[in-house]
Structure 1
């Protein structure tokens, strides 16, 4: 393998930043100077691969191999171009040749695993090759991506999770790994909603243009918001118990009106419920999730309805607790007026939390 020309190095840096067209322009200049620069041809092929221009990948890697038939890096890139154009036999041959020329290359084994996956009956073999790639390159994120892909086809959830976590260990800002980690957190039943929202916020930071991640974050934040209605239900129950709203048959009901101390105690319990259940949690949320919550309240009717129902139920509970009622009739009406709408919206928006 020869040292790259400065223009090729600049093109590599631009390609790493996602500025593929600018990288292609630099490489075109370099290849006009020296059409036999194999490194420039390979880098141009990588630009085409990133842009999903697979026919051009095959053409440019062909030029690189014309300049150096044993350029195993060109063979690796060529494997992906051939694989994406359904030329699986040629892709397998290219990958096998790359492994033959560079048996210690982790990236060559990743390409071979990709090529072997074209045959369903050979998926276990593809997984074994991906594992070998990880052994050869434990600090190479591409090896873990290859392992992740192979784990999906063979149903190895443990290997999938391992690949994601190891990628984030090596590169905490890797967009693919952050997105997959967010999906993994979302699927886990023992992970709380704030942690799930934080994972989606991290992934969205790495890939701000992803509509899927934005939708997932919105849904997770909405699920957090809908939990405030249970605080309203709890507040109504606290008020109802303090008044002894539904006395047990055969027992003397609590004497009304309640003392000021009892009423203030009920209000204090509601404040504690809201403080621990909503306000403290909100203060601990990262800024991106707070902004999403505010945006959701502007954009989504059900989000506004959820908050309105929580406020409505809690206000009625406060009225029930503060007023020195002498009869239970009006507090009972207030209790059901606050409780029924909240429970109905909890029931009807169940499909929206999935």
Structure 2
């Protein structure tokens, strides 16, 4: 077994921590000392790959292969650089050579799976290569990512089962694996019968594991907005309670309630509104996870339509309270208040549908 130079080992540790710029500086020092250190060239290529500097990946792996033409590790890294720069034939050749040199390496088979994905007609072969990687090393998380990715585009009838298996195994190895957490959140949210709070919790979990995920942020915001949007229906319900209590629209042929209503009936209407809001909003909010609550507060600061939703809910409820609480002697004014409170709420429910999507 070849012993790496201390600077290369330090750079490898920095790369594992995501500190690729610092790792590159150490590797530059090492290669200035000894430009024939193949391991340093391969590690530098990995740092460039993490930084999405694909042309540099190709250049540095070429140096490594000049020094050691049978370095299958360099061929694996080179495969990704070639694949990302559109050189799919060369990428496939590099991956196949890596598999030939290291038949029992799961990493080599993962690289082959990645290279094969450049051809839509070879997706099934890509899945097979990823499955072979899983068989060779069931403890290698990269194999499950390759299996999930290739199955996603394979068109296989059992692709959903394969993806679910890959996600669960990846989480077994690393419960904080970003892609697996995100995919698992999507699976939880898409489960039959999943309610909005459960979906929001799933997306909040994924966002905690991957704070920079724009897709999870967007999904969480959308779900929270849908929950917030529901508060306007509580305003509509409150207006209906007030309208029924005051008998604003008496049925033809029936004797309308005598106005003003007794204080007890008016207080009972307010009690029903409080119950509706308590069960529909307050208890629901208190049961939300802290991450979802913070997202709700953030959404109200960032999104005009979220603030408008809340304002409309308050608007309709205030009119309902006034209708129920005031001892009206006639129905003309409370009817006008009813429509004044109801129409803007219903209009915004209709017009914000594109924002909900």
Aligned residue in 1 for 2:154? 154
Cα distance between partner residues in 2 of 1:110 and 1:345: 51
Instruction: Output the CA distance in 2 between the equivalents of 1:278 and 1:5.
Output: 62
Report if the CA contact (8 A) 1:178-1:199 is conserved. no
**Structure-2 change in CA distance of 1:166 and 1:264 (3 Å):** farther
RMSD, aligned α-carbons? 2.4
1:173 corresponds to which residue?
176
Q: CA deviation at 1:306?
A: 1.0
Shift of 1:319: 1.8
Displacement, 1:112? 0.8
Bigger Cα displacement from structure 2, 185-194 vs 335-344: 185-194
Aligned residue for 1:113?
Answer: 113
TM-score (norm 1): 0.90
Task: Assess, with a 3 A threshold, how the Cα gap between structure 1 residues 139 and 267 changes in structure 2: closer, same or farther.
Answer: farther
The residue matched to 2:248 in structure 1 has which SS? coil
Query: How far off is 1:182 after superposition?
Result: 4.2
CA distance in 1 between counterparts of 2:20 and 2:190 reads 35
Contact residue 61 and residue 75 of structure 1 kept, 8 A: yes
Offset at residue 304 of structure 1 (A): 1.7
| Structure 2 partner of 1:290 | 293
Shift of 1:353: 0.3
| Structure 1 equivalent of residue 127 of structure 2 | 127
User: In the TM superposition, what whole-angstrom CA distance separates every residue of 1:35-75 from its partner, at most 9, and x where no partner exists?
Assistant: 33332222111011112222222232233334433332222
Residue 78 of structure 1 is matched in structure 2 by: 78
> Which one is further off, 43-52 or 341-350?
43-52
1:316-338 Cα distance to aligned partner (Å, 9 max, x none): 11222222333333322222211
Give the distance between the partners of 2:331 and 2:2, measured in 1 at CA: 90
> SS state of the match for residue 194, structure 2?
coil
Which residue number in structure 2 is paired with residue 239 of structure 1? 242
Distance 1:280 1:21 in 2: 49
Q: For structure 1, which runs of at least 5 residues remain unmatched after alignment?
A: none
Taking a change above 3 Å as real, the CA distance of residues 188 and 343 of structure 1, as seen in their structure-2 partners, is farther
Who is 2:198 aligned against? 195
Deviation at 1:349, TM superposition (A): 0.5
Q: What corresponds to 1:21 in structure 2?
A: 21
